[in-house]
Amino acid sequence: MPTTHAIAGLITRLHDPHYARRASQIRRTGGCRQPIHLRGKVEHYDRTTGHLLHRYSTHLEPDGMLRVPCKTRRASRCPSCAETYRADTYHLVRAGLIGGKGVPQTVAAHPCLFVTLPAPSFGTVHARREKDGKVLPCHPRRGAPTCPHSQVMSCTARHGADEGCLGEPLCPDCYDYAGSVLFNALAPELWRRFAMALRRHLAKLAGLTQKGLAAQLVASFAKVAEYQRRGVVHLHAVIRLDGPDGPASPPPAWATIGMLTQAVQHAATVVTAKVPAYDGQPSRALRWGAQLDTRPITMHGELTDQAVAGYIAKYATKAAECVGTLDRRIQPLENLAALPIREHARRLIAECLRLGSFDELADLRLIQWAHMLGFRGHFSTKSRRYSTTLGALRAARAEHKRDEQITTGRLPLFDEDTVLVVAKWQYAGQGLSAGDALLAAALTGVPMTHLSDAPGGGS
């Protein structure tokens, strides 16, 4: 329900002589919840005569400011900009599967797998299982043992899809919280080692040295991290085999999907990442979980390019907040008990803060990444030659925007070579006033909730 303050603000806007200009600014930010405010001017001069050809200044804009979209990828911060990011990621992943955006269509014939590298178990958690459309009991065990904390290690409930206990341990005191956050912290390293082992094993299967392999074949990937409800990350990756020059060159005939599958399975089982000894705890090796999943991606089969691109793009805009943690950094001295989060997330965060204080684990930066439950990797990354880049997609959009500004009379059409452009911009704040937020919601159809608590900074 909008406040009276917001409604009063909206009414002022509607009576403002600058209304049309303001409305067009808001439309142009596409419903951004936390637009950046800029003050400044652009001047076009003729290089030969020095004459001023055109001047644009934010001086004439409402409040003397131009509002531009925040461009975050985090859906919890700005649904509208995150949607742009999601759509870009979708096109980027899809171009790597079927071609387009500068990637040749022949790429569709290259061996390609969709691989899920899961986290291992850190203790039994409540789960919803389905078989043939029927919901199965969670963890039914007749004569189940009782844990040292008097908890019977069995659950016969058939859980609903949204039940709060899903992903939470049967006994929190038995759960390996340290293992869970250390796994998240080491997942990027485990991926790096997996990618190296994959190349090594492909070379071995082909009877080549690693150098010999690189001369004939390149493995490209696009990957995304997904938080499980229990608070650990899984990695999903598209792994594709190309010729030595990337997507435009065909892989050698011996590089089959069967060989790729074999190499992936081998690499996923052999790699480990080592946690050093700390606080009297021995050093331990973490590895991927056993539920490795590898599936071929085909244009018409069970797993299509659209499904894979959609899946990766969806997770690219999500962070740990879906586990019930916070969308901001946590200070070491913060009162965790006062945070509005689930108990399981609270214990994972507390474990990050505890482990982060040991010198031996300092490199893992667990305190800085406590709100991400230890994971500090990027949510979606790809190898250089996988497909086009987000930058290229953004440049194409900026070009389109410029054309639009020229056609709407905002910028004059000059030959780039003859014109000297002088621009001066200044950051003047961020966000929307309560009245502008209502106006934005009305103009763009994007609901503008939680306006006052949009946090800045972070990842």
Q: Where do contacts with Zn ion occur on this chain (CB under 5 A)?
A: 32, 69-70, 78, 81, 126, 138, 147, 149, 151, 155, 157, 171, 173-174
Q: Is 126 left (phi over 0), alpha (psi -120 to 50) or beta?
A: beta
CB of residue 128 to Zn ion, shortest distance in Å? 8
Give the separation between CA 257 and CA 23, rounded to whole angstroms. 53
Give the separation between CA 110 and CA 220, rounded to whole angstroms. 11
Query: Read out DSSP for 39-98?
Result: EEEEEEEETTT--EEEEEEGGGSGGG-EEE------TTT-HHHHHHHHHHHHHHHHHHHH
Q: Letter for the amino acid at 246?
A: G
Tokens of 373: 């439950």
Strands (E), 147-286: 218-227, 233-242, 273-275, 284-286
Give the separation between CA 224 and CA 308, rounded to whole angstroms. 11
CB of residue 231 to Zn ion, shortest distance in Å? 16
Q: In the complex with Zn ion, which residue's Cβ is closer, 260 or 437? A: 437
Q: In the complex with Zn ion, which residue's Cβ is closer, 51 or 149? A: 149
Q: In the complex with Zn ion, which residue's Cβ is closer, 32 or 352? A: 32
CB of residue 350 to Zn ion, shortest distance in Å? 17
Does residue 432 contact residue 423 with C-beta atoms inside 8 Å? no
CB of residue 407 to Zn ion, shortest distance in Å? 24
Tokens of 126: 């409540």
Does residue 122 contact residue 230 with C-beta atoms inside 8 Å? yes
Q: In the complex with Zn ion, which residue's Cβ is closer, 165 or 241? A: 165
Q: In the complex with Zn ion, which residue's Cβ is closer, 87 or 285? A: 87
CB of residue 29 to Zn ion, shortest distance in Å? 7
Q: Is 235 left (phi over 0), alpha (psi -120 to 50) or beta?
A: beta
Q: In the complex with Zn ion, which residue's Cβ is closer, 165 or 320? A: 165
CB of residue 150 to Zn ion, shortest distance in Å? 8
CB of residue 30 to Zn ion, shortest distance in Å? 8
Q: In the complex with Zn ion, which residue's Cβ is closer, 174 or 419? A: 174
Give the separation between CA 86 and CA 384, rounded to whole angstroms. 19
SS3 208: coil
